[in-house]
Amino acid sequence: MRIPIIILLLASLFAASCGEPPMPPGDEEMIRHFATHEAAFCKVCEIMAESSDGSFHYPPLSPNGIIILDSTEQSDTSYESNDEQDIPVYGLLKPDRILLDSLLSEIGCGFVLVDRREWETADSIYVSLVIPYYSHNIVDAETSKSFVYDPGLRSYRDVRITEHGDLNEIYRRTYNDTTLYKPIKEDWYIKLEHLLFRKNS
């Protein structure tokens, strides 16, 4: 008779633990990941700054929300000089898109959100990137951590940037809506976002 009781206790403990959302990767883990793949992160930024156009999701989404990838089987013809064979996607030609696919695979991130603007008066280009690294949804909340490149982040109002403490521990103290940033290097940051989905009364 003891065995069923033990099984029930273990099952209840397991069920309780399942109610706890998994912990996002720690800041130090993400900083090490960035350092290991820094060249790839910077190359993504360089391509978007020099070759892309506008604000967009890469890889692009179809009307059904499906990510569209270039076929590597067609890579042999992607470098031909006939421009009619390559229709730019957000300004990106096929060689750039194939390289971006490879870089995103290397850094272990599925997509990147790009905001690229050209300032005519200053004759300069402003680019910011959000590269999601972790995301977890439950019924009433979503938690995500991303790598962010944004040269103007420190000038924005209401942006919380912390140099101390782990972002996971900071947000778990309250579990309220939270958006936090931690510097990695120069204009690169970790972004933690925790959103609660409130039901309409």
pLDDT tens digit sequence for 45-54:
999 999 999 9
Task: Say which residues have a Cβ less than 8 Å from residue 91's Cβ, sequence separation at least 6.
Answer: 51, 52, 53, 54
User: Burial code of 138-165, b = ≥16 C-beta within 10 A, e = fewer?
Assistant: eeeeebbbbbbbbeebeeeeeeeeeeee
* Burial group, residue 78, by CB count within 10 angstroms (0-12, 13-18, 19+): middle
Question: What mean pLDDT comes out for the span 3-19?
Answer: 40
pLDDT attached to residue 134: 94
Instruction: Tell me how far apart the terminal alpha carbons of the chain are, to the nearest angstrom.
Output: 48
pLDDT at 56 over 90: yes
CA distances from 105 to 41, 50, 149, 196 (A): 11, 21, 18, 30
Question: What mean pLDDT comes out for the span 163-187?
Answer: 88
CA distances from 9 to 1, 14, 15, 117 (A): 13, 9, 10, 58
Which range, of 6-15, 56-65, 90-99, averages the lowest pLDDT? 6-15
Cα dihedral angle (162, 56, 143, 133), rounded to 10 degrees?
Answer: -80
Mutual orientation of helices 94-107 and 38-51 as an angle, nearest 10°? 150
What are the residue ranges spanned by the domains of the chain?
26-196
pLDDT at 14 over 60: no
Q: Is 6 helix (H, G, I), strand (E, B) or coil?
A: helix
pLDDT attached to residue 36: 98
Radius of gyration of the chain (CA): 21
pLDDT attached to residue 26: 95
Dist. CA 139–CA 122, nearest whole Å: 46
